[in-house]
Structures are given as C-alpha cells and as structure tokens.
Structure 1
Amino acid sequence: MSKVKILVVEDEMVIADNICLILEDLGYEVLEPAINYEEALEMIESERPDIAILDIQLGGRKDGVDLAWTIKEQFDFPFIFLTSNADAGTIERVKKVAPPAYLVKPFKKDDLYTSIELALHKYAEQKNEGKVDEELLIKDAIFIKEKNLFHKIKLEDIRFLKSDHVYVEVYTIKDQKHLIRGSLTDLSERLPNNFYRTHRSFTINVDHMDAINSAYVLMNGEQIPIGKNYRDDLLKKIRVE
C-alpha cells in the first residue's frame, strides 16, 4: 500500500520543517513545503497530494482559506487548517469552507496524527455518500436528486457544467439549471469523452459548441471562458489550429 502523500503550506519555514519531520516520523510521504498560495497551487498541480495541512495566515494576497476553496472546487481532496490565532472574521470564513479538522499551534504529535486520519476518513465517507445521495451516473444519463426525487437528465442534453464552490451547476439545452453537491473535477472525470474541461470552473459538451476562439467557447449565445492551462489541450482535441 502506498503512503499517504501530504503537502504542508506554512510561511514560517522553521515551523514547516518541524511539521514535515513529525509527519515523516509518523510514516507519511511528505512533499516539499509551500510558503504561499501560488507555491501551493504549483505543488498541488504537479504532485497531487492526498491531503494538505494549511496555515490560515499566509504571506501574499491570498491566504489559507482562499487556498482551501481552490482545493475544494478544483482538486477535491481533504485539508486541515493550522493556526496560532484568528480573528472573528477569519473564523467565519473558515466555517464556510467546512474543514474536516482544525489544529491550533502548538500541537502534539498525536493530535496531528489523529486530525489527519479523521480528515481522510471523513473525506472517504463523504465521497461514498455523495455518489448515492446527490447523483447517480449511468451510461447515457445522470440522475440528480432534487426534493427527495432523482430526476433523469440525458448526458446529450447537458450543454455545460459550472463550478460554484461546493456545488456543480448543470445547464441543459432546455435552459434548465440543476444543482449537484460535489466537485467539478470529480464529476468531469466520470463523464464521456465529448465533455471537455475548458476552465477551472467550466466543463462543456462539445456537441453543443457553436463557435470557438482562443479565449472562449460560444454556446447558445453564452461565452464560456477557456483558461490558459486548458487551451492547448482543448484546441488539440477538437483539431483547431
């Protein structure tokens, strides 16, 4: 069995190194620590950690709460918040992102281990529940739960999907919008190959694409943005020079 891969995001390097040493002693695989939002994003994209430990206060324009939202919306893996103190406003932001665990500095080795294992366990439970309680994907359709009933939506009728924090908005050719609790990444990976990711917040059904340039896709008069990290692959897949 492979080791759990952990990313530590902490702007104080002495603390970051100490956490990494503790994690290695506990038997985890530890990535090179990141000190800010941008470094963390690069590490996540290249290394795909199983869980992240995020200091709330980070240097730079975006802090640990911003990073947590990005993880939740784009990458969908668990995280733990780490901080020494936080004001009331920050605590409210933390509550909205709903972390599976929260550690206050200084902490004990056993507390760190328990928080990691509980966060991983809670995440696994939520993933299993989400596939049953929120949506069921079959060969040519998706059943979305709304008001205690599963409604069938044919995949061919889906125009595009849009990420909205912990939800995915599903837009159809009938100009209907449906809401699924979950991540765009997880749902997109389970859709057929005529669904392409165009942006961190959008996945489109190319069968309903009316026009395209390097900046956006036109679908029924609506411009769907093309992110720079997705542009080359998208244009290559649909053979646009």
Structure 2
Amino acid sequence: MGKVKILVVEDEIIIADDICNILSKLGYDALDPVINYTEAIEAIEKHQPDLAILDIQLAGSKDGIDLAWKIKEDFEMPFIFLTSNADPTTVERAKKVTPPAYLVKPFKKEDLYTSIEMALYNYSSSLEVSKSATTENKDIIIKDAFFIRSNNLFHKVKFVDITYVKAEHVYVEIYTNANQKHLSRGSLIDFSKKLPGNFFRTHRSFIINLDYLDAINYLYVIVDGNEVPIGKNYRNELLRRVNVE
C-alpha cells in the first residue's frame, strides 16, 4: 500500500508549508497546498487525496466549512478541520458537517498525527456501517431501473428515461425526459455507481445520459434541450467518448 496522500487547504502559505513539512516527516505524501475553495476542488479532482486538512478561515467567499460540505457531497474522502478560531459559533457550524477530527492551532506534531490516524479510522468505520445499514429512504435497484422512495410510495425510474443528474446539498436531483424531477438522498458519487455505462460525469455536480447529448460547447453541453456545465477536467474525456475529431 502506498503512502497516504494528504491535501492541505490553508491560506497562510508559511503555515501550509510547515504543515506539509511535518506531514512528510511523519511519512505521509503531502500534496502541494492550496489556499481557497476553488483550488481545493481542482486539486481533489486531479490528485484524489486520501484525506484533506481544511483551515476553516480561507481566502475568498467560501470557507473551510463550505468546502467540507462539498467534499461530503461529491468526494469519498475524510477531512480534518484546522483552525485557531474555536469560538462556539464556529464550532457549532463545524459540528454539523460531522468531521472525523478537529485540530486547533497551535498544535504539536503528535497531535497532527493522532488526528490524521483517527480521521482515517473513523471514516473507514463509518463506511462499513453505512454499507451494512438499511435506511428508510434506500433506493431499490432492479435490472433496467430503480425505485425511489417518496413519502409512502416507491416510484419506478427507468435508466433510459434519465437525461441528467445533479448534486444538490445532501440530495441528488434526477431529471427525466418527461420533465420530471426526483430526489434521492445521498452523494453523487454513490448514485453514479448505480448507473449504466452510457452515463458520463461532466462536472463535479452533474452526470449526463450520453444518449440525450445534443451539442457540446466549451463551457456546457446541451442535454435534451437543457444546458449542463462541463468542467475542464472532464471535457477531453467526453470528446473522446463521443468521437469528436
């Protein structure tokens, strides 16, 4: 097994470099640090780290807590909150994301190591629990469709009828060719595992059915008459899949 890859998201460069140096000394693979929400998402998509260390206070309009929510929705990885601000309001916001670990600056090398190992262990344990648990709103999968629960009914949704799928907070929005929208609780990554091979992820928040792809633009695609964004990290693979020359 290779080294654990860790991404540091910290807008104070000196602190970020210090953390990366400590991580290297502890035997981890420290990726190049990033300073804000946007850079963090790009780094996660590109490098697929095993864990992220998130400073709550970040440069830009979105902070580390916003980033943590996005990681929970779209990426299968644990994270640690890192902050010098331990006021009650911040702690309450952070608690709602249920982080596997929380580290307050200043900290010792041993504290960082313990937090990382606990975060990895807690996250792994939570995955095992979620796999074995049976939830009320669990979707029922059959060969060519699945049933999605809404109130007291299970509604059948055929894969062939789905045009695109969108991540929205803790839900996945499923759009069909009948202009219907269904909601399924969970992450886009988990939902994508249910889909057949003709579905393609164009963006961290969108998956499309290639059978409904009408046109491709530099910034978006047209799917059954709807504009769906396409991220730069997905564009080349999409062009390859649809044989664009």
Identical residues among aligned pairs (%): 62
Residue 237, structure 1, aligned to residue 241, structure 2: yes
In the alignment, the residues of structure 1 paired with residue 130 and residue 146 of structure 2 have an alpha-carbon distance, to the nearest angstrom, of 13
8 Å Cα contact 1:217-1:226 kept in structure 2: no
Partner of 1:160: 164
In the alignment, the residues of structure 2 paired with residue 142 and residue 110 of structure 1 have an alpha-carbon distance, to the nearest angstrom, of 47
Mark the runs of 5 or more structure 2 residues left unpaired by the alignment.
Answer: none
Residue aligned with 1:97, SS: coil
Q: Residue 170 of structure 1 aligns to which amino acid in structure 2?
A: I
Change (3 A) 1:228 1:8: closer
Change (3 A) 1:45 1:206: closer
Measured after TM superposition, the shift of residue 163 of structure 1 is 0.4
Measured after TM superposition, the shift of residue 194 of structure 1 is 0.6
Measured after TM superposition, the shift of residue 164 of structure 1 is 0.7
User: Taking structure 2 as the reference length, what is the TM-score of the superposition?
Assistant: 0.78
Residue 212, structure 1, aligned to residue 231, structure 2: no
In the alignment, the residues of structure 2 paired with residue 113 and residue 143 of structure 1 have an alpha-carbon distance, to the nearest angstrom, of 44
In the alignment, the residues of structure 1 paired with residue 209 and residue 99 of structure 2 have an alpha-carbon distance, to the nearest angstrom, of 32
Q: Deviations over 1:173-200 (max 9, x none)?
A: 4544333333213432552221012222
Q: Deviations over 1:117-153 (max 9, x none)?
A: 3322333344344455434656533354555887653
Of stretches 137-146 and 8-17 in structure 1, the one that deviates more from structure 2 is 137-146
Change (3 A) 1:37 1:175: closer
Mark the runs of 5 or more structure 1 residues left unpaired by the alignment.
Answer: none
Q: Residue 103 of structure 2 aligns to which amino acid in structure 1?
A: L
Residue 84, structure 1, aligned to residue 75, structure 2: no
Measured after TM superposition, the shift of residue 84 of structure 1 is 0.3
8 Å Cα contact 2:212-2:223 kept in structure 1: no
In the alignment, the residues of structure 2 paired with residue 145 and residue 118 of structure 1 have an alpha-carbon distance, to the nearest angstrom, of 35
Partner of 2:230: 226
Partner of 1:100: 100
Partner of 2:144: 140
Residue 67, structure 1, aligned to residue 67, structure 2: yes
Measured after TM superposition, the shift of residue 51 of structure 1 is 0.4
Of stretches 1-10 and 180-189 in structure 1, the one that deviates more from structure 2 is 180-189
Change (3 A) 1:63 1:173: same
Change (3 A) 1:99 1:148: farther
Partner of 1:22: 22
Change (3 A) 1:19 1:217: same
Name the count of aligned residue pairs.
239
Of stretches 12-21 and 195-204 in structure 1, the one that deviates more from structure 2 is 12-21
8 Å Cα contact 1:218-1:224 kept in structure 2: yes
Change (3 A) 1:154 1:128: farther
In the alignment, the residues of structure 2 paired with residue 157 and residue 193 of structure 1 have an alpha-carbon distance, to the nearest angstrom, of 14
8 Å Cα contact 2:164-2:223 kept in structure 1: no
Q: Residue 218 of structure 1 aligns to which amino acid in structure 2?
A: V
Q: Residue 33 of structure 1 aligns to which amino acid in structure 2?
A: P
Measured after TM superposition, the shift of residue 161 of structure 1 is 1.0
Aligned-residue RMSD, C-alpha: 3.1
Q: Residue 233 of structure 1 aligns to which amino acid in structure 2?
A: E
Measured after TM superposition, the shift of residue 237 of structure 1 is 1.8
Change (3 A) 1:143 1:35: same
Partner of 2:48: 48
Partner of 1:57: 57
Change (3 A) 1:124 1:143: farther
Measured after TM superposition, the shift of residue 54 of structure 1 is 0.7
